[in-house]
Every structure is written in C-alpha cells, then in structure tokens.
Amino acid sequence: MRVLSSEAAPICAIRVLLDDYTACLDRDELERWPEFFVPDGIYKVLSRENVERGLSAPLIYYYSRGMMRDRVTALRDALTYEFVYTRHLVSGTQIARLSDGAYRVTSTFAIYQSTEEGVTRLFCVGGYEDRVAMTPDGPCFAERTVVVDTFGVLNLIAVPL
C-alpha cells in the first residue's frame, strides 16, 4: 500500500496509540487505560456469534472515561479475581481515513495469560474495530469495539481486552 506523505504522520501516531494501549494493559497500568479514549469514548465487548447474527447487545459497555475509571477502581478495590499477567499479540492492522477526519482501524489479537505460578494459556482471540479521533493531544479512541471469537471467555473478563 502506498501512503501519501500527508497521511504518514497520523498513521504513525495511530500505531503508537495501539502499541501504548497494549503495553498499558500488559504492564497492569490500568489507571492509564481510560486516557486512551476521548472523554465520551465508547468501549464495548461483543461476541462474534452475536455480531454475525445482528444482535448488538454488548457483553461490556462503557460510554465515558468516567465509567472506565469506575471499572478500574472496582478492579483495584472491590472485585476479587485471580491475578494474571497478560500478553497481547496484535496483528493485521489496517488503517483508513474516514470522510469526517477520523480513522477506522481494524486489527486482530490473541491474548495470553500467565498465572503467578507460571502456567500460561491462550485466553482470548478476536478483533478490534476502532474509530480513532485526532485530538489536540494526539489520536484517541472515539470507540473501541472488541469482538471476541472465544465464547468460553465471556464470563471471565475482568480487565480490559
């Protein structure tokens, strides 16, 4: 694909956004997670099966940074779950500029989890379908839709994907 020089800077900035997002989650820096979104940004998780059937009810749905911060507070202070180390492998990223100046970004992922005892397993696979807005502070997610292929993981999602 040939990239025009006027598009190179935004595309590079979006790739940095994606890499920083993944590093934030893999380093358990969840307090930073909401800052990857615009203030009224949307984060939702859907099953691929429901998407294919046209059923739009998400498994997880946050529609503001405030809701995301509340989730992080709950994870840190209220919920009990087995701590695991995560590693996200993200590939196949495609970036397209939309007519309103935002960008459509799609990619696939595999998430591995390792327990504190050192047991590693494949946790989840799926795809990201993003709408990225260019803000004065750089690119941010206006919407991040996570479509999970792994049906068995749905009741085990504690941290963002």
Q: Minimum mean pLDDT among 79-83, 95-99, 103-107: which range?
A: 79-83
The DSSP secondary structure of 117-154, one letter per residue, reads: TS-EEEEEEEEEEEEEEEETTEEEEEEEEEEES-GGGG
> In the prediction, which pLDDT does 71 show?
92
Angle made by CA atoms 151, 81, 117, in degrees to the nearest 5: 95
> In the prediction, which pLDDT does 150 show?
76
pLDDT-derived band at 84 (thresholds 50, 70, 90) equals confident
What are the tens digits of pLDDT across the range 24-78?
999 999 999 999 999 999 999 999 998 999 988 898 999 999 999 999 998 889 8
Return d(Cα 49, Cα 155) in angstroms, integer.
Answer: 15
What are the tens digits of pLDDT across the range 107-150?
999 999 998 899 999 999 999 999 999 999 999 999 999 999 97
pTM, to two decimals: 0.91
Looking at the domain covering 5-153, what would its CATH class be? Answer: alpha beta
Per domain, the residue ranges of the chain are: 5-153
Q: How far is CA 66 from CA 4, 35, 38, 76, 86, in A?
A: 37, 10, 11, 15, 24
Strand 103-115 with 60-62, pairing: unpaired
Exposed, middle or buried: residue 114 (CB in 10 Å: 0-12, 13-18, 19+)?
middle
> In the prediction, which pLDDT does 4 show?
55
Residues in CB range of 153: below 8 A, 6 or more apart: 123, 124
